[in-house]
Amino acid sequence: MAQRAAWVPDEEVSECPLCTQQFSRAKRKHHCRACGRVVCGSCSGSKLFLSSYGKEERVCDSCFDLLQHDKGRPVNEQFVEQKQIEASLKADLREKQQQEEWFRSFLAQVAAANGNAHARAVEELPQLIANGQRRWRETCQQLQKDGEELEQLQEKGNQLELQGRARASSLQELQRTVQHMQKDLKEGPALQSQCDELQRSTILLQQELSGLQQRRAALEDLQERSEGSRSFVGSFVSMSTNGSSRMEQCQRSCQVM
């Protein structure tokens, strides 16, 4: 929430800065919630929504015009405060002009009562005019400086707004990441159970593979033994056949004799 404007103490103000009318029991003092200045009820009859209060609040006519027509006002009210300073300087300038006019009228009245005083007033009048012109130039320069600072603040406000949007986007991305992580944490026990089941299946398959390898080795050993037995039987049969042939030759020789 934006910071609320500081209120000007009631005892420091005796007249409304907008209409310059004196405060009295009939003309009560009111505080503008946007700039904090003390104004009369006639100059603060409007209300606007202020982010610092979160609802509609009483504002002076000057703030109402600024906030009502400024569609691109920043979130913080520092920008509005600078505009209020500019408006306050213009009001002070009008007040100085009114004081100058009153002083001229006073000099005219004095001149009517005393010729010498009139002569002195006429002599001092150019100096007073020069001082007024000098103050006018200083006020214009100050207004120009305030305008430049106002533009800088507006640019900074735009940059802060862009940074705020970028941070909001990053925050949303982090929130989505956190949601995915929370979902993964919820699914963690099921995944762990599946992993344990796969490990048990792997162990059983390894045991079956080891048994098959042992059976294969036993069959290969049995095959080797079987081939050795066949070789021995062949040799035995060959020897028996040769012995029978020799006996037949002996019998034939004995018959001839």
Chain-centre distance of CA 236, in angstroms? 98
The token duo for 48 is 């606007």
Q: Would you state the pLDDT for residue 74?
A: 46
The token duo for 90 is 């213009």
Q: Would you state the pLDDT for residue 71?
A: 46
Q: Would you state the pLDDT for residue 75?
A: 36
C-alpha distance from residue 47 to each of 12, 55, 68, 129, 178 (Å): 24, 10, 10, 41, 42
Higher pLDDT, 53 or 89: 53
In tens, the pLDDT along 180-233 reads: 888 878 887 887 888 888 889 889 999 989 889 998 888 888 888 877 666 655
Q: Would you state the pLDDT for residue 22?
A: 93
Fold of 1-69: Herpes Virus-1 (3.30.40)
Contact 75, 88 (CB under 8 A): no
In tens, the pLDDT along 107-133 reads: 777 767 665 555 565 567 778 788 878
Helix 61-69 and helix 78-113, axial crossing angle in degrees, nearest 10: 140
pLDDT at 76 over 50: no
User: Lowest-confidence range among 85-94, 171-180, 207-216?
Assistant: 85-94
